[in-house]
Amino acid sequence: MKGLVLGGLLMVATGAVAQTPPRPATAETPEARLAAAGHVLPEPVKPVATYVTSAEAGNLLFLSGHGQCGTQAKGQLGADMDVAAGRASAEKVGLCMLATIKAHVGELSRVRRFVRILGFVNSTPGFTQHPQVMNGFSDLMVVAFGEGGKAPRSAVGAPSLPMGIPVEVEAVVELR
C-alpha cells in the first residue's frame, strides 16, 4: 500500500485512513523527542473557574481536565466532527497537558510514567469510536515518553463538555 504518513495517519489514494503506530523519536529528552516529531508546546492553560491545573502529592502529579490551549476547538464527534478531527484535537490537548506538566515541574524528563488517563469525548449517542479519538493523546505521550507514555486509560463519551470542546483529558503522572 502506497501513501503519505501525515501526523501518524497513513493517507492512501483511496482516501482511506489507516493508523500507523506512534514511534518515539531517538532524542534524549521528551522535549527533544517532541521537537523532532514536529511538535511545539503551547503556553500552559490557565484555570477558567475555581480550581488548579495541577497538584503534586508525593511523587504523583494530578492534572485537571484539559482542553486545548489557546483557541479551543468546538464540536461534537458523530455530529459535526469526524474521528480524524477528534484525534487531532486530542493530540492538541496532549500538548497542552505537557505544557502544564513542564510549567509545574520544570522539565518533562521529571516524568517517570503516566499512571492513569481519563478522556472524555463530546459525542452523539451513536458514536462508538472514542478509543480512536483518544489515541491522538496517547500516541503523543508515547512519542514523548516511550513505554512510560502508555497508561491505563478510559475513553468515555459525554453528551457535552465545557464550552463545547470536543475532547477533555485528565491524568495522573508519576514523577522522578
Q: Read off the pLDDT of residues 123-161 as tens digits, 9 standing for 90 and up.
A: 999 999 999 999 999 999 999 999 999 999 999 999 999
Position 11 pLDDT exceeds 50: no
Flag whether 140 is in a domain.
yes
Please check the confidence at residue 10 and state whether its pLDDT lies above 80: no
Rounded to two decimals, the pTM is 0.85
Is 152 a domain residue? yes
Question: 96, 67 in Cβ contact below 8 A?
Answer: yes
Q: How confident is residue 8, by pLDDT bands cut at 50, 70 and 90?
A: very low
Residue 79: HSE in the Cβ half-sphere, 13 Å Cα cutoff: 13
Whether 170 is covered by a domain: the verdict is yes
Whether residue 2 is predicted with pLDDT greater than 80 in this model: the reply is: no
User: Residue 114: beta bridge partners?
Assistant: 173
Q: Which residue has the higher pLDDT, 16 or 108?
A: 108
User: Whole-angstrom Cα distance, residue 161 to residue 116?
Assistant: 20
Instruction: Report the CATH number at residue 36.
Output: 3.30.1330.40
Does the residue 129 lie in any domain? yes
Identify which of 149, 127, 122 has the alpha carbon closest to the alpha carbon of residue 138.
149
8 Å CB contact between 174 and 60: yes
Q: Name the domain count of the chain.
A: 1
Q: Are 169 and 118 in contact (CB under 8 A)?
A: yes
For 117, list phi and psi in degrees, rounded to 5: -130, 130
Domain-located, residue 72: yes
How far is 30 from 141, CA to CA, in rounded Å? Answer: 9
The larger pLDDT score, comparing residue 2 to residue 127, is at 127
Strand 60-66 with 54-57, pairing:
antiparallel
Q: What is the structure's pLDDT at 24?
A: 52
- pLDDT averaged over the chain? 89
- Show the domain range for 68: 25-175
